[in-house]
Copies of this chain bind each other. A is one copy, B any other.
């Protein structure tokens, strides 16, 4: 296998980072002023802001507003090399990674490969459900929902219309809750204007949660209020509800009841993306890699895992830290410091998670906030949510565009991005999109 072209051997130690999510991007940027050569690999050429996928899925934000070109992020950084590539295998003995564009040796390897949707082995659900763990999947969800309404117009069978209109979301965590709220507002404010020919009182939005409350892990007050907000918007919240099967038309629950829908959105769990070559003994529950307090992967001397893929067991977090952006960013930041300390022989610092709190929004003026010493719900939580997410978005222009979009939607009760831009393959297998020409 040939080496990846163009990355010089210049005597510097090389840190190879796999993944440009919150963890990988932060690590690469935090190593800006170091003596390392940095190589970052990702399947895409952009960083994605996962917390707002649900707004892309509900036509509130454009994909570009929550993505940021990785090359642009590194314009002022020296000796950093970015490549679009997929990791195929780590050859631990030789200290080499194998990718689809060639191989590369490393001195330090940082795995920030993140996590993907977990269907817990249910093949039927995996085949028919819609996930929302990437920007592409969020766009796909938007296209699916809009296409359903278009198809409902051409349908005369009443049961088929119900299946096209109904949406079932599985998983009452922040993702499912925020998505359910956004869909409910879309149904309330926008869809009747767009589709005066359809009767949206027939459209039901279900949020199913296996645990006894939504926003499990949040404060009791936030869970209770979150559910109340959802129900105020017309979402049918069903807790203690376990989904057993789905054939693309009918959701079967554990108690045998069924819900008719063509659209099942699966936000019920994630699992770490697999990394070939590390050995199974380091893989723990949820596909996460066991690491020590310095994010070093068990049984390895120069391979680190950070973010969602890492499982660091501590007294407080026996099963690992929550798989959220804050943990990823803090681990990446510390790892950058520790790698530099290691090089100069200084003592390393163990990771300690500073939990700044949790936020989730349900709709206009409706959000919940659990901060370290206080928990509150409603308008002020919603303002805090807006502010925190706005500030977290990469790039001043993206921030400005998201802000204008939000302000616009808030004032007009409208989102204007209901575009069905569908990919298609043209004759030469080049990827292209639907043509304009209406013939």
Contact of A45 among B150, B397, B427 (CB under 8 A): B150
Name the residue on B nearest A139 (C-beta): B433
Contact of A136 among B24, B46, B101, B434 (CB under 8 A): B434
**Interface contact B435-A137, CB-CB below 8 Å:** yes
Q: Is A96 an interface residue (CB 8 A)?
A: no
Q: Is A224 an interface residue (CB 8 A)?
A: no
**Interface contact A419-B154, CB-CB below 8 Å:** no
Contact of A153 among B5, B87, B156, B420 (CB under 8 A): B5
Counted per complex, copies of this chain come to: 2
Q: Is A275 an interface residue (CB 8 A)?
A: yes
Tell me the A111-138 residues at the B interface (CB within 8 Å). Answer: 112-116, 127-128, 133-137
Task: Count A interface residues, CB 8 Å.
Answer: 91
Known: A194-B69, A419-B46. Is A431-B140 also a contact (CB below 8 A)?
A: yes
- Bound complex: CA A134 to CA B436 (Å): 5
Known: A404-B401, A421-B63. Is A437-B113 also a contact (CB below 8 A)?
A: yes
Report chain B residues within 8 Å CB of A48: 436
Known: A83-B154, A113-B439. Is A140-B434 also a contact (CB below 8 A)?
A: no
Q: Is A387 an interface residue (CB 8 A)?
A: no
Contact with B along A266-300 (1 / 0, CB 8 A): 00000001110000000000000000000000000
**Interface contact B64-A438, CB-CB below 8 Å:** no
Report chain B residues within 8 Å CB of A18: 438-439
**Interface contact A133-B437, CB-CB below 8 Å:** yes
Report chain B residues within 8 Å CB of A112: 438
**Interface contact B154-A6, CB-CB below 8 Å:** yes
- Bound complex: CA A86 to CA B424 (Å): 15
Of A24, A134, A414, most B-chain CB atoms within 10 Å: A134
**Interface contact B431-A113, CB-CB below 8 Å:** no
A169 CB, nearest partner CB in chain B, Å: 18
Report chain B residues within 8 Å CB of A102: 154
Report chain B residues within 8 Å CB of A437: 19, 43, 113-116, 133-134, 273
Report chain B residues within 8 Å CB of A128: 428
Q: Is A33 an interface residue (CB 8 A)?
A: no
**Interface contact A438-B150, CB-CB below 8 Å:** no
Q: Is A344 an interface residue (CB 8 A)?
A: no
**Interface contact B194-A75, CB-CB below 8 Å:** yes
**Interface contact A421-B135, CB-CB below 8 Å:** yes
**Interface contact B422-A134, CB-CB below 8 Å:** no
**Interface contact B43-A137, CB-CB below 8 Å:** no
**Interface contact B194-A433, CB-CB below 8 Å:** no
A311 CB, nearest partner CB in chain B, Å: 17
Name the residue on B nearest A439 (C-beta): B273
**Interface contact A416-B41, CB-CB below 8 Å:** no
Q: Is A371 an interface residue (CB 8 A)?
A: no
Report chain B residues within 8 Å CB of A154: 4-6, 83, 101-102
**Interface contact B42-A140, CB-CB below 8 Å:** no
Q: Is A388 an interface residue (CB 8 A)?
A: no
Contact with B along A68-93 (1 / 0, CB 8 A): 11011001000001011011000000
- Sampled A-B contacts (10; CB under 8 Å): A43-B436, A43-B439, A44-B421, A45-B150, A46-B419, A67-B421, A69-B419, A84-B150, A114-B436, A136-B433
